Amino acid sequence: MLLSLLTTACNPGSDTDYDYAEASNLCGRVTGGSDMGTPTQVAVVEVLDGEVACQGGDTGGPGWWGDVVAEPEPDGDFFEATVPEGSYGVEVNTDEGFSGCAAAEVTSSATCAAEVVVQVSNFTFDKPNLYLYPPAPTALAVRLPAWRAITESDPRYPVDGWRVTAWPDGHLDTKVGDRDYLFYEMNWDLGRLQQEQGWCVPGPLAQLSIEASMDELGFLPAEIADFATAWDGDFPETAWMTVYPQFDDLAIVNIDPAPDSFLRAWYYVAPGCRAVEPVDLPVVPRTGFHAAEWGVGFEPPLRAPGVVVHGG
pLDDT digits (tens, 9 = 90+) for 31-68: 876 544 545 578 889 898 887 677 655 544 434 456 88
State the angle between helix axes of 206-217 and 221-231 in degrees (0 to 180), rounded to the nearest 10. 160
Enumerate residues 6+ apart whose C-beta is below 8 A from 197: 244, 245, 276, 277, 278, 279, 280
pLDDT of residue 308 exceeding 50, the answer is no
pLDDT of residue 246 exceeding 50, the answer is yes
- The mean pLDDT value for 89-94 works out to 85
* Least reliable range by pLDDT among 15-19, 27-31, 291-295: 15-19
pLDDT band at 101 (very low <50, low <70, confident <90, very high): confident
Cα separation values, 256 from 173, 260, 291, Å: 16, 11, 12
| pLDDT for res 306 | 44
Enumerate residues 6+ apart whose C-beta is below 8 A from 283: 218
pLDDT of residue 97 exceeding 80, the answer is no
Q: How far apart are CA 41 and CA 37, in angstroms?
A: 12
- The mean pLDDT value for 275-304 works out to 90
CA nearest 286: which of 198, 227, 221, 209?
221
Neighbours of 127 (CB within 10 A): 24
Looking at the chain, the whole-number percentage of residues with pLDDT higher than 70 is 84
- According to DSSP, residue 205 is labeled G
pLDDT of residue 7 exceeding 70, the answer is no
Q: How far apart are CA 81 and CA 27, in angstroms?
A: 6
| pLDDT for res 65 | 56
The structure's pTM equals 0.75
- The mean pLDDT value for 204-211 works out to 97
- The mean pLDDT value for 191-214 works out to 95
* Least reliable range by pLDDT among 10-24, 158-172, 261-275: 10-24
| pLDDT for res 189 | 75
Any idea of the CA torsion for 236, 241, 243, 244, to the nearest 10 degrees?
-110
pLDDT of residue 307 exceeding 80, the answer is no
Strands (E), the chain: 26-32, 42-49, 68-70, 78-81, 86-94, 99-106, 114-120, 124-133, 138-143, 150-154, 162-166, 172-174, 177-179, 182-187, 199-202, 240-246, 254-256, 261-271, 290-298
pLDDT of residue 1 exceeding 50, the answer is no
pLDDT band at 160 (very low <50, low <70, confident <90, very high): confident
Higher pLDDT, 1 or 45: 45
pLDDT of residue 304 exceeding 80, the answer is no
Mean pLDDT of all residues belonging to the chain: 84
Report yes or no: 26 and 104 within 8 Å, Cβ to Cβ.
Answer: yes
pLDDT of residue 25 exceeding 80, the answer is yes
- According to DSSP, residue 37 is labeled B
CA nearest 144: which of 165, 134, 133, 130?
130
- According to DSSP, residue 230 is labeled H
Task: Parse the chain into domains and list their residue ranges.
Answer: 26-120, 124-298
CATH number of this structure's domain 26-120, picked from the four choices 3.20.20, 3.40.50, 1.10.3110, 2.60.40: 2.60.40
Report yes or no: 176 and 206 within 8 Å, Cβ to Cβ.
Answer: no
